Amino acid sequence: MTRVVDAEGAHLDAVLRAADFRGRRVLEVGSGEGRLTWGIAPLAASVLAFDPDAEYVAQARADCPDELRQKVRFEVASADEIEVQRQSVDLVFFSWSL
């Protein structure tokens, strides 16, 4: 099935208005196929992105642009399975994940 989610980029625009991602270590919870990750990662210092759907994560890994591979990591985990070191991120981004 072909579907296009938010072709106009309204979600990303609103998220970028909400917070300054520049130079931040970001924990993204509910990254899906990386639709919003690709918009915040170029600004961030790093993005650790989780989604419980293994197919989405595989797709995101496959689609990750070469220039972002050094600072974006996708992992399969639901919100309650995520283990992250204390005080290790500057910004937590929840995307319909709970």
Partner 1 sequence: MEPEGVVDVLRKLLQALIPGGVVVDLTAVPPNAQVEVDGAVLGELDGSAFFPRAEEATAGLHSFAHGGLLLLEGEERLSILVGYPSGRDAVDDVAERTYTRMPAELARRVETIAGPVAIREHSLVRRFRKVA
> By rule CB under 8 A, what string of x and - marks binding of each residue 24-53 to partner 1?
x--x-x------x-----------------
User: Least separation, in Å, of the C-beta of 32 and partner 1?
Assistant: 11
Residue 18, both tokens:
């909400």
For partner 1, how many residues bind (rule: CB under 8 A)? 37
Interaction between residue 54 and partner 1 (CB under 8 A) = no
User: Least separation, in Å, of the C-beta of 60 and partner 1?
Assistant: 17
- 3-class secondary-structure state, position 81: helix
Interaction between residue 80 and partner 1 (CB under 8 A) = yes
- Left, alpha or beta for 45 (phi > 0: left; psi -120 to 50: alpha)? alpha
In the set 44, 57, 74, 93, which binds partner 1 (CB under 8 A)?
93
Q: Which among 97, 3, 5 is positioned nearest to 52, based on CA atoms?
A: 97
Chain centroid offset of residue 34 CA: 6
- Does residue 91 contact residue 16 with C-beta atoms inside 8 Å? no
Contacts with partner 1 by CB under 8 A lie at 1-8, 10-11, 14-15, 17-19, 24, 27, 29, 36, 79-80, 82, 84-98
